[in-house]
Structures are given as C-alpha cells and as structure tokens.
C-alpha cells in the first residue's frame, strides 16, 4: 500500500463540510488563510477551565534535546510538543480542545502503563489507548440494536437502509486525529475504530459544544469504570467513507457493494479435527 502523504500547504477548502463539519462549527478553521498560530490553538484549551492544569501547545523544536518520552513530557509539564505546519498535530490540538478530560485520562493511563511495563514493552491496554487516540470514532446513538448491526458488519443496513437516521439519533464524533489527517486526502480503505456510546434522545437536542462536553464526561467514565479500552475488543471497524455525508460517492447504494472495503464479518467455525475455533 502506498504511504499516505498529507497536503503540504494549508488549504481551508479541504475542510469544508462532511467529516470536518464539527471542526468548521467549533473552530471556524475554514476561515483561516494560513496555518493557525500557537496563540490561536492555545486560546481554545485555556477556555477549558475545568482542567486542574490546562495543557499548552508548544513548538516541537523546543524539545529537540529532550530525553523524555512524548507522553512523559505532557504528564510532567502540561506542554504538548506540537509540530508547526503539520496536519497531524493541528488536528491533535483540536481534539485536546474538544475532549480535554478524555485526553488527560489517556495521558495518565499511558504513564501508568509505562511505569508498569517500561517504554519498550507495550501492554494491551496501552495499544488500545494508542489505537483509539489515533483512529477512534465515538458513535452516539439511542439504539443498542444498531450497535450490534454495526459490529456485525451489516453495512447495507446501517449505511443504506437506516441512512436517514444519521445526524438525527445516530451521530459520529471523530476522536482520532489521524482520521482527520487522512480525510484531507480520502481514499478507499480508510477505516476508523468505532466505540458506540448509548445516549438518550435529549442528547441530540444539545448544542454541539454541549454534546462534546457530555461525550467527554461519558468517555472518561467508560474508560475508568467499564474498561472499554483495556484492550481492543470494544472497538470495531468503521469504513469512514461509508458514513453518510462524508463522501459524495456514498449517495449511490452501489458504493457499498465494494466488499474489499465494506468487508463482511469473518465467521468463526469449530475445527473438529483440532478441537479449536478457526477463523475463515
């Protein structure tokens, strides 16, 4: 597979609508004519005054002689090393602003795992934290049955037959900043890792800001008390170009017939000769 390369120049036209709708509304990023400044980035995080010590985005160049690991720097200094003119880190900064409590918790969990296992040995928990941090999507919904269909890869049902529900009582919220980066130049195969969150009907009447605050609180609870990221088992694939309104081509139901992208769920059968389960 060809290595993904993001656009070199900042282009606000890439961020109009679709998967970037929330960023457009929350940050007015599409109005920026050049790469946002650190002052601009930090203005959003400092507004999150419920954090005991709000994080600060600092040019990555200031840490070029730093011996500490990235997560350790954040944990010990509340400074996030951020590369300038870099899509990945720009989107990462905005996720910090939208999910400050969840990102703080993920950072603490990384440090706890590092203290237990060291930097080289990665636990299942730390792998799950990293996967969700990079590729996670929260899918708020009122219907647990929809979550079951999604995990069963019933793509035609969830994307075509129930298309009108998306944006009403089914709503995606990108958490993984790598998703946003790759959506600047989307390609068939682009897949996130979805975590379904059950909410009540009142959730969808809230403002976008209030919805993010609610999800931030709920995600913290799910990680701390439900162990949803103890490993990868709670995460399932979400073909991002299949999400309604995230790709112009998916208005045609035949778009979902590409089984190389919208892959059916693999079945487990019992291998009687070996007495073990075998994945087809």
- Phi, psi dihedral angles at 64 (to 5 degrees): -65, -25
Separation between Cα atoms, residue 201 and residue 209, nearest integer Å: 17
Cα–Cα distance measured from residue 149 to residue 74, given in angstroms and rounded to the nearest whole number: 38
- pLDDT confidence of residue 223: 97
Strands 136-141 and 191-198: parallel
Q: In 3-state terms, what secondary structure has residue 197?
A: strand
**Nearest residue to 186 via CA among 20, 10, 36:** 20
Beta-bridge partners for 136: 193
Contact 7, 184 (CB under 8 A): yes
Stretch among 27-41, 63-77, 82-96, 259-273 having the lowest mean pLDDT: 259-273
- Long-range contacts of the stretch 1-9 (C-beta < 8 A, 24+): 1/189, 4/182, 4/185, 4/187, 5/185, 6/87, 6/88, 6/181, 6/182, 6/184, 6/185, 7/87, 7/184, 7/185
- Whole-number pLDDT of residue 266: 81
Using CA atoms, how far apart are residues 144 and 63, in angstroms rounded to an integer? 45
8 A C-beta contact, residue 193 and residue 132: yes
pLDDT tens column, 152-202: 999 999 999 999 999 999 999 999 999 999 999 999 999 999 999 999 999
Element housing 132 (H / E): helix 124-135
Number of Cβ within a 10 Å radius of residue 31: 9
Angle at 61 between CA 56 and CA 64, to 5 degrees: 110
Nearest Cα to 197, choosing from 147, 248, 262, 253? 147
Digit-coded pLDDT (tens) for 133-156: 999 999 999 999 999 999 999 999
Q: What is the pLDDT of residues 254-267, one digit of tens each?
A: 999 999 999 999 87
Average pLDDT over residues 94-121: 92
């Amino acid at each position: 597979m060809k290595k993904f390369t993001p656009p070199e120049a900042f282009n606000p036209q890439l961020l109009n609508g679709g998967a970037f709708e929330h960023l457009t509304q929350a940050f007015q990023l599409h109005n920026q004519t050049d790469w946002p400044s650190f002052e601009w980035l930090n203005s959003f995080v400092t507004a999150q005054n419920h954090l005991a010590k709000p994080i600060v985005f600092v040019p990555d160049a200031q840490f070029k002689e730093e011996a500490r690991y990235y997560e350790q720097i954040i944990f010990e200094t509340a400074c996030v090393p951020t590369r300038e003119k870099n899509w990945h880190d720009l989107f990462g900064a905005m996720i910090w602003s939208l999910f400050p409590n969840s990102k703080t918790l993920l950072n603490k969990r990384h440090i706890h795992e590092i203290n237990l296992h060291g930097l080289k040995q990665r636990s299942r928990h730390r792998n799950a934290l990293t996967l969700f941090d990079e590729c996670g999507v929260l899918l708020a919904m009122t219907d647990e049955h929809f979550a079951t269909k999604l995990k069963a890869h019933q793509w035609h049902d969830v994307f075509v037959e129930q298309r009108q529900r998306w944006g009403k009582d089914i709503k995606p919220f990108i958490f993984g900043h790598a998703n946003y980066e790759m959506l600047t130049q989307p390609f068939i195969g682009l897949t996130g890792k979805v975590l379904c969150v059950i909410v009540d009907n009142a959730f969808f009447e809230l403002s976008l800001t209030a919805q993010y605050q609610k999800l931030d609180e709920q995600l913290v609870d799910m990680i701390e008390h439900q162990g949803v990221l103890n490993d990868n088992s709670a995460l399932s694939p979400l073909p991002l170009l299949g999400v309604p309104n995230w790709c112009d081509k998916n208005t045609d139901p035949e778009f979902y017939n590409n089984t190389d992208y919208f892959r059916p769920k693999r079945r487990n059968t019992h291998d009687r000769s070996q007495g073990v389960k075998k994945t087809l």
